[in-house]
Each structure stands twice: as C-alpha cells, then as structure tokens.
C-alpha cells in the first residue's frame, strides 16, 4: 500500500480503533463502537472481558471485534493465553492480538516462542479468526526483532505487530521496515503505539504496515482528508 495513492476508504479499513484502558466502562465501548461503525474502521481493539458486549453493538456493521490477550505484558503461561484466546473467540472475537513472552525471547528460548506462536495461531485459524503477534519492540534489540519475525515467517500468523502502546516506546518506522523485510509477503505487519497523526501513519504505511492500531483514528482521517484537499489545489 502506498500512502500517496491510498483512498479514505482504504485507510479507514486499515485502522484498529483502540480503547484498552483499565477504567473502561460501557459508555466508553458504546462510543468506541459507534465511531468504528460510522467511520468503517477495520476493528475495535479492546481487552478480552468486553468482547461479548462489543460484539452485540457491532452486529451487522462489518466491523470486527479484536481481543487483546495477555495484555500488555505477555507474562502469562501459554495455557493461560490459550484459555483466554478460546474464551474471547467464544464470546465473539473476530481477531486476536496476543503479546508474546518477551522474557523468553530475550533469553533466546526460540523453541518456547515458536510453540507459543504456533499453538495460538493454530487455535485461531481453526476458528477462522485473525491472529496478530505483538512483539513489543521497545524492549527488544534489532536482532531479537529479526529472530521473532523469522519465527513468524515459518509459523505464519496473519500479522506481526510492533507494540502494545503501553511500553516505553511505540511503533518505529525502521522497526516496521525490518519486520516487513523478514516476513515478506507471507505475514502482514501491524504498526501500533504512538501513531497520532497522518504524518506518522503515512510513514509506517510506506514502511510496510497494513494495519494501524491507534486511538487517534478519527483525527488521522481528518488530517488525511485535509492533506488530500491541499494536494488537489496544487
């Protein structure tokens, strides 16, 4: 996808409209889902508990419900992640974003990371649910990012994702490019964390991102429309 030629409809369809706060209540989810349906975003990104509630709100809209699993630390056992994933799917989740076990990756335990990724991916694909693996790149070296992406290239989840948005850093353009260079066309890349304007959004798209996780989706669309109007006048 090229940010110079992308349409508003295509851009909206790449955005995961996000609200992952601990203090979220039903009125927050009401607003989130109304906005997602109005702007035709790809998905609402929420924690796993309110999945069933949001599924009802979005019935018939075409907007997916996405559940964040082992969020935001990734430090739960594999069986716990599998249980949470299964429950979210039973509640109506169309997409799963899980945080890999960052500590195991940093210790070089590639067998664990591969098993975790493969079992969660297999579970999701058996239920026809999209699966995204969150790396949390701010805690990883470039070699560790590359290693996780190499594992993903073999396992083939639908997406690998830069960040939770809760770490010490978010999406970095060079990390998106690195991840995409490793997985090629076999796996897509989602950029998330710190994407608050069209300038940053367009940069990660051009680096290879095909999904954008952000709570600033409406503002990004507004800036996109203004940028297009300015370009048309030139």
Dump the DSSP string for 127-184. Answer: TT-EEEEE--GGGS-HHHHHHHHHHHHHH--SEEES--SSSS----HHHHHHHHHHHT
Burial 170-193 (b: 16+ CB within 10 A, else e): bbbbebbbbbbebbeeebbbbbbb
The residue range of the domain holding 136 is 8-233
175 is known as an active-site residue? no
CA 138 to CA 44: how far, in whole Å?
Answer: 24
Overall pTM surpassing 0.85 (yes/no): yes
Catalytic position from the list 81, 132, 180, 190? 190
Domain count, the chain: 1
Write the CATH number for 193: 3.20.20.70
2 assigned to some structural domain: no
Write out the two tokens for 139. 């805690």
In a domain, 1, yes or no: no
In a domain, 59, yes or no: yes
Q: Which of 161, 175, 180, 188 is the catalytic position?
A: 161
3-class DSSP assignment, residue 198: helix
Q: In sequence order, which residues have a C-beta less than 8 Å from that of residue 161 and are 6 or more positions away?
A: 97, 132, 133, 134, 135, 189, 190, 191, 192, 211, 213
pLDDT score of 233: 60
Phi, psi of 223 (to 5 degrees): -65, -40
Cα torsion for 140, 144, 146, 149, to the nearest 10°?
-90
Cis geometry, peptide bond prior to residue 14 (ω within 30 degrees of 0): no
Residue 204 in any domain: the answer is yes
CB 23 within 8 A of CB 225: no
| Rounded Cα gap, residues 2 and 198, in angstroms | 13
Asked whether residue 76 is assigned to any structural domain, the reply reads yes
pLDDT of residue 1: 81
Does 190 participate in catalysis according to the annotation?
Answer: yes
- Burial of 153: CB neighbours in 10 Å, binned 0-12, 13-18, 19+: middle
Is residue 3 domain-resident?
no
CA angle, residues 15, 64, 76, in degrees to nearest 5: 90
Considering 16, 81, 94, 97, which one is annotated as catalytic?
97
pLDDT tens, per residue, the chain with 234 residues: 899 999 999 999 999 999 999 999 999 999 999 999 999 999 999 999 999 999 999 999 999 999 999 999 999 999 999 999 999 999 999 999 999 999 999 999 999 999 999 999 999 999 999 999 999 999 999 999 999 999 999 999 999 999 999 999 999 999 999 999 999 999 999 999 999 999 999 999 999 999 999 999 999 999 999 998 877 665
């Amino acid at each position: 996808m090229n940010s110079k030629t992308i349409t508003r409809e295509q851009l909206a369809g790449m955005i995961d409209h996000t609200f992952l706060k601990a203090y979220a209540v039903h009125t927050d989810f009401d607003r989130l889902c109304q906005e997602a349906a109005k702007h035709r975003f790809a998905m609402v990104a929420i924690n796993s508990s309110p999945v069933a509630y949001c599924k009802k709100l979005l019935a018939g809209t075409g907007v997916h419900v996405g559940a964040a699993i082992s969020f935001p630390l990734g430090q739960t056992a594999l069986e716990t992640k599998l249980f949470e994933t299964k429950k979210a799917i039973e509640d109506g989740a169309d997409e799963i974003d899980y945080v890999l076990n960052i500590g195991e990756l940093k210790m070089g335990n590639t067998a664990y990371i591969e098993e975790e990724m493969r079992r969660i991916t297999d579970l999701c694909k058996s239920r026809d649910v999209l699966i995204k693996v969150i790396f949390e790149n701010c805690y990883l070296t470039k070699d560790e990012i590359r290693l996780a992406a190499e594992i993903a290239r073999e396992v083939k989840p639908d997406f690998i994702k830069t960040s939770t948005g809760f770490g010490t850093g978010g999406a970095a353009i060079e990390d998106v490019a690195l991840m995409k260079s490793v997985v090629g066309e076999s796996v897509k890349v989602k950029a998330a964390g710190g994407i608050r304007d069209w300038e940053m959004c367009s940069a990660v798209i051009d680096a290879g991102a095909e999904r954008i996780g952000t709570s600033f989706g409406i503002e990004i669309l507004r800036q996109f429309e203004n940028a297009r109007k300015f370009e048309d006048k030139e």
